[in-house]
Amino acid sequence: MTVAVPVPDAALPFIVPAEGIPAGVDDARPHRTEAAAITGAGPSAQLWISLATIAGFLVLWWAVTASGAVAPLFLPSPEIVVARLGRLATEGFVDGTLAQHLGASLLRVFAALGAALVLGIPAGFAIGSSPIGRGVLDPVIEFLRPIPPLAYLPLIIIWAGIGEAAKVLVIALAMLPPIVIATAAGMEGVDRNRLNIARALGASRVQLFRHVVFPSTLPSILTGTRIALGAGWSTLVASELVAATRGVGFMIQSAANFLATDVVIAGILVIAAVAFAFECGVRVIERLFVGWSRRG
Amino acid sequence: MKLNVFRLAIGFAQPRGGETAVLEDINLRIPAGEFVVILGASGCGKSTLLNVIAGFLKPSSGEVWVDDRPVSGPGPDRGVVLQTDALYPWLDARENVGFGLKLRGISRQERRERADEALRLVGLEDKGDHAIWQLSGGQRQRVSLARALIADPDILLMDEPLGALDALTREQMQDLVLEVWARTGKTVLFVTHGLDEALYLGSRLIVLGGQPGRVLLDKPLSFGRRAVEERIGGRIKSTPAFAAAREELHDLFFAGAER
Ligand SMILES: Nc1ncnc2c1ncn2[C@@H]1O[C@H](COP(=O)(O)OP(=O)(O)O)[C@@H](O)[C@H]1O
Ligand SMILES: [Mg+2]
């Protein structure tokens, strides 16, 4: 299995530090995307363009609703959605405030992430380090990877019931493949010379792993974690389809039953904002712990 | 510490079956304190030989002995410096140098002191806190050299350590390597494909060549030692004796092609 792990790098504008490349770095790689190099748009220009695009969408949304061309049932105006967000936070919807729904969802995603990391990282190392590990685990991961979580959700409900465990399990299963694949790919990429030098300095097998293999693989693991979080959020809503009483996904679906479009849109925005915050969080962790990997 | 290589042969399995012999019947007796330069065209098996002596590769037949023990794997008695620096970018320069001490469980304080000492030896005493990506190619190679030296190996194995450096840095580093050798008295095996570098540094020259590779030439040299003793450094390369030796070596490699 040599599946290239997609790295959605150019996706977010804030990857690039607004202050630019630190001074005194003689061989820092250019951080600009190729497209940016062609158009001559620097990192801060990129950020402004992104902000302007977002503002443009908001204006368009507002204009369409204000003109009365679309009924509020289909698309409520931004003001209505914002007002609804406020009431969701205070009064709540279907038996829970926004914080309670969000808390339930976050708990599921975090529990699933924990499980996926605990199982996925060792599995990835096993695939990357031994033909036996690869032989056993590769088919499992390759089987799991292309199946949409919704397809195995019914099976998991039959096995694990309709409680929290089933929900966490579905999300964890969706998160597992990217973490395993990224870990294995990272391990295969460990520089031979770095390993040999450590062996020449007297490293035992355990020390090789701890002081060379693991740090070398960490950037890859974090990339896998970012991708896994994306998969986790998309699976969350599906997992809350069944027998949930709390959760942002549950809130959105209940709202849809009542045709409360403003709640649906507010819920979507909340999920987007939280997912974005997670993405930022992982990037901060990357910057702190594996900043070296971007410098070459 | 002496290094002995007995009837060494190495072949690599081919993808379609069978084996290509890379080195055949290599015999070396290297007494302690010698600076052995291994010279040969690209692909003649220099790195392979060094990797076997380092213990990274198992030979097809033959043996490598360090003093009275056969080599069965890598060990801290043989320090290694490679062409690509292979430093650990998640550690700063000082921690890279102290890496071998960390593996032995030596305390942070002592590691720091000894790493700083090794950095001083290679002229980087002010760069300990620098990240690896903040160092130039030459500085990185100095860090790799310090990292190999800190474990105090008896034998230093260097595979084209200056190959990736620009000409000026390369000359500087040649002098540094010579100086470290003269000061520490370690046995050095230094792989290169540069004629001048080989003649300048070595106290003994070994030329590899042929298919499979064998020792074509094995003779003593004295330019490096004289350059250190007489404190003339790289200027010895302009002496008539050096030019004559260079010509002779040049003919060994290219005489066939010119006629
Ligand atoms: N791991 C390997 N598998 C197969 N062939 C190899 C391997 N390593 C080196 N060789 C072959 O052995 C020969 C000698 O390689 P090497 O020792 O790296 O040469 P040098 O260092 O003198 O340039 C080359 O022809 C190379 O293709
Ligand atoms: Mg080589």
Looking at residue A38, what is its pLDDT? 59
Summary mean pLDDT of chain B: 93
Looking at residue A18, what is its pLDDT? 36
Task: Give B105 Cα–ligand 2 centroid separation in angstroms.
Answer: 33
**How large is the average pLDDT for residues A51-57?**
94
Shortest distance between the Cα of B151 and any Cα of chain A, in A, equals 7
Q: Which atom of ligand 1 is nearest to the CA of B49?
A: 17
For the cut 60, the answer to whether the pLDDT of residue A171 exceeds it is: yes
Same domain for B169 and B110: no
Pick A252 or A3 by higher pLDDT.
Answer: A252
For the cut 80, the answer to whether the pLDDT of residue A190 exceeds it is: yes
Assigned domain for A52 exists: no
Q: Which atom of ligand 1 is nearest to the CA of B41?
A: 22
Q: Give the pLDDT band of residue A27 (cuts 50, 70, 90).
A: very low
Find the DSSP H helices in chain A: 34-39, 43-66, 78-90, 98-129, 131-144, 149-160, 164-188, 192-200, 205-208, 214-239, 248-257, 261-290
Tell me the CATH number at B73.
3.40.50.300
State the Cα torsion B129-B130-B131-B137 to the nearest 10°: -140
Question: Where in the sequence is the domain holding B102, given as residue range(s)?
Answer: 85-152
Q: What residues of A are in contact with residue B132 (Cβ under 8 Å)?
A: 292
Looking at residue B25, what is its pLDDT? 94
Q: How many domains does chain A have?
A: 1
Q: Which residues pair with B10 in a beta bridge?
A: B23
- Rounded CA-CA distance B148/B156 in Å is 8
Rounded to 10°, the helix A131-144/A164-188 angle is: 130
- Rounded CA-CA distance A109/A168 in Å is 7
Q: Give the pLDDT band of residue A144 (cuts 50, 70, 90).
A: confident
For the cut 60, the answer to whether the pLDDT of residue B98 exceeds it is: yes
Q: How many domains does chain B have?
A: 2
Looking at residue A25, what is its pLDDT? 37
Candidates A146, A165, A166; CA nearest to A156 is A166
Looking at residue A205, what is its pLDDT? 94
Looking at residue A137, what is its pLDDT? 92
CB contact under 8 A, A25 and B73: no
Looking at residue A238, what is its pLDDT? 86
Work out the percent of chain A whose per-residue pLDDT is above 70: 85
Looking at residue A35, what is its pLDDT? 54
CB A275 within 8 A of CB A233: yes
Q: State whether residue B218 is helix, strand or coil.
A: strand
Of A193, A201, A218, the CB nearest to B100: A201
Same domain for B91 and B62: no
Task: Give A60 Cα–ligand 2 centroid separation in angstroms.
Answer: 63
Burial of A28 (0-12, 13-18, 19+ CB in 10 A): middle
Tell me the CATH number at A196.
1.10.3720.10
Question: Where in the sequence is the domain holding A240, given as residue range(s)?
Answer: 93-295
Q: Give the pLDDT band of residue B256 (cuts 50, 70, 90).
A: low
Of A24, A27, A200, the CB nearest to B79: A200
Two tokens, residue A189: 């990429």
**How large is the average pLDDT for residues A132-144?**
90
Summary mean pLDDT of chain A: 85
Same domain for B129 and B27: no
Q: State whether residue B188 is helix, strand or coil.
A: strand
Find the DSSP H helices in A67-97: 78-90
Shortest distance between the Cα of B256 and any Cα of chain A, in A, equals 36
Q: What is the predicted ipTM?
A: 0.92
For the cut 50, the answer to whether the pLDDT of residue A189 exceeds it is: yes
| pTM listed for this prediction | 0.84
Work out the percent of chain A whose per-residue pLDDT is above 90: 64
**How large is the average pLDDT for residues B146-157?**
94
pLDDT digits (tens, 9 = 90+) for B68-90: 899 999 999 999 999 988 999 99
Same domain for B108 and B57: no
Looking at residue A72, what is its pLDDT? 87
Looking at residue A232, what is its pLDDT? 92
Of A27, A200, A295, the CB nearest to B80: A200
Q: What residues of B are in contact with residue A193 (Cβ under 8 Å)?
A: 82, 84, 86
Of B90, B99, B144, the CB nearest to A292: B90
* DSSP state at residue B125: T
pLDDT digits (tens, 9 = 90+) for A262-274: 999 999 999 999 9
Question: Which of B128, B152, B176 corresponds to the end of one domain?
Answer: B152
CB A232 within 8 A of CB B116: no
Looking at residue A69, what is its pLDDT? 86
Taking CA atoms only, the protein residue closest to ligand 1 atom 21 is: B47
Same domain for B66 and B190: yes
Assigned domain for A59 exists: no
- Rounded CA-CA distance A52/A59 in Å is 10
Same domain for B148 and B159: no
Assigned domain for A40 exists: no
Q: Give the pLDDT band of residue B17 (cuts 50, 70, 90).
A: confident
pLDDT digits (tens, 9 = 90+) for A82-124: 999 999 999 999 889 999 999 999 999 999 999 999 999 999 9
Q: Give the pLDDT band of residue A39 (cuts 50, 70, 90).
A: low
Question: Which of B96, B118, B152 corresponds to the end of one domain?
Answer: B152
Give the ligand at the shortest distance from the Cα of B43.
1
**How large is the average pLDDT for residues A141-170?**
88
Residue B39 CB: number of other CB atoms within 10 A? 26
Assigned domain for A257 exists: yes
Work out the percent of chain B whose per-residue pLDDT is above 70: 98
Sheet arrangement for strand B214-220: B78-81, B155-159, B187-192, B35-39, B204-209, B214-220
Same domain for B237 and B171: yes
Task: Give B81 Cα–ligand 2 centroid separation in angstroms.
Answer: 12
Assigned domain for A86 exists: no
CB contact under 8 A, B56 and A199: yes
CB A253 within 8 A of CB A200: no
Looking at residue A120, what is its pLDDT? 96
Two tokens, residue B146: 């310090």
Same domain for B177 and B203: yes
Q: Which atom of ligand 1 is nearest to the CA of B45?
A: 17
Same domain for B95 and B66: no
Pick A22 or A192 by higher pLDDT.
Answer: A192
Question: Which of B113, B135, B152 corresponds to the end of one domain?
Answer: B152
Q: Give the pLDDT band of residue A22 (cuts 50, 70, 90).
A: very low
**How large is the average pLDDT for residues B213-224?**
94
Q: What residues of A are in contact with residue B90 (Cβ under 8 Å)?
A: 215, 218, 290, 292
CB B57 within 8 A of CB B10: yes
Q: Which residues of B touch A (CB under 8 A)?
A: 51, 54-56, 73-76, 78-80, 82, 84, 86-90, 99-100, 102-104, 131-134, 136, 144, 147-148, 151
Same domain for B225 and B138: no
CB contact under 8 A, A200 and B76: yes
Pocket of ligand 1 (CB under 6 A): B 12, 22, 40, 42-48
Q: Give the pLDDT band of residue B257 (cuts 50, 70, 90).
A: low
| CB–CB contacts below 8 A, A to B | 80
